[in-house]
Amino acid sequence: MPELPEVEVSRLGISPYLENQQLVGVVARQRQLRWWIPDEVIELSNQPILAVTRRAKYLLIRLPAGEIILHLGMSGHLKVVAGDSPPGKHDHLDLLLSNNKILRLNDTRRFGAVLWQAKDQQHPLLAALGPEPLTSDFSAQTLVDACGKRSAAIKLVVMDNKVVVGVGNIYANEALFKAGISPTAPANSVADDKLALLSTVIKETLAAAIVQGGTTLKDFSQADGKPGYFKQQLLVYGRGGQPCVNCQQPLTEIKLGQRTTVFCSLCQH
C-alpha cells in the first residue's frame, strides 16, 4: 500500500495540472470501490479547483462546495493524461479538467476510495486522525505522551494513526532501526530520550523519501510515470536475513501486528 511519502509525491505530481483549473465534470465507469462513490462527486461540474492538499494518506481536492477525498488503497494510482486518452480496463474514475487534461484513477483491486466532504464539515474517516508527522504538531513530547501508558509494541504505536498519521510499515521499520529501538519493545519501556530521537528520525525518514520520489512499490508510480527511488536506500525493510549495514549480523524478520517487521537484534534494543 502506498505510504505517506508516495501519497505526497502523487500530490506534488498532480497539483500543477489541477490547481487554478476548472473541474469540468466527472466520469465514473465503476462506482463501487472500497465504498460507493457518492452522488455529490459524480454530479460535480464547472467547479474551480482551489487547492490539492493531503491529510495522512488521503488526497483532498478542494472546491468551493467541499473536497473530493481520494485514497489509493492497495493498488490505486493517479495519472494525468490527455483529454482524448482512451480508458484502460481498471481506469475507474476521470476528473475532466478545463486544460483538456484528465486526472484518472486506476485501481486494479478497487480497495481505493473516492469520497466527499462538504465545506465546513469533516468526514468521519478524517475526524480521528492524529498529528501530521512533518509538522510541529508532532514532536518529541507528543510521542512521549502517547507512549507513557501504552504497553503495546513501539512499532504498533508509531503506526497508530491516532498517535501520528502516515507512518506505515516500511518507514516504521526504517525509523526504528535508525533510532536503535527494537520494534517489539513495549512503548512505555522506551526512554524519553530515545523517543525524542525516534520522533526526529521519523520526520527525517519521511522527508527524505518524499524528496527522492517515494518508495517504488509493486503498484505505484508517480503521476508522470516515473517510479520512486527511495527503495534503493532502505536499510532493513525487505532485507530479512541479509547482513545489518552496521554490524553485519543477519537481520531478523518476524510478523508483528500481522505486518512484516525487520530489525537487527544487536543494534536495536
Residues tagged in the binding site annotation for DNA: 90, 109, 150
Query: Which residue among the candidates 11, 57, 79, 239 is catalytic per the annotation?
Result: 57
- Secondary structure (DSSP) of 40-87: HHHT--SEE--EEEEETTEEEEEETTEEEEEE-TTTEEEEEEETTPPP
Distance in Å from the first CA to the final CA of the chain: 28
67 in Cβ contact with 61 (< 8 Å): yes
57 in catalytic set: yes
Rg of the Cα trace of the chain? Answer: 20
Please report, for residues 1, 77, 135, 217, the alpha-carbon distance to residue 227 in angstroms, rounded to integers and kept in the order given: 15, 12, 26, 8
Binding residues: 90, 109, 150
Find, among 24, 53, 50, 26, the residue nearest to 37 by Cα. Answer: 26
The answer to whether 2 is a known catalytic residue is yes
Q: Catalytic: which of 31, 110, 231, 259? A: 259
The two beta strands, 22-28 and 47-48, are antiparallel
Active site residues per annotation: 2-3, 57, 259
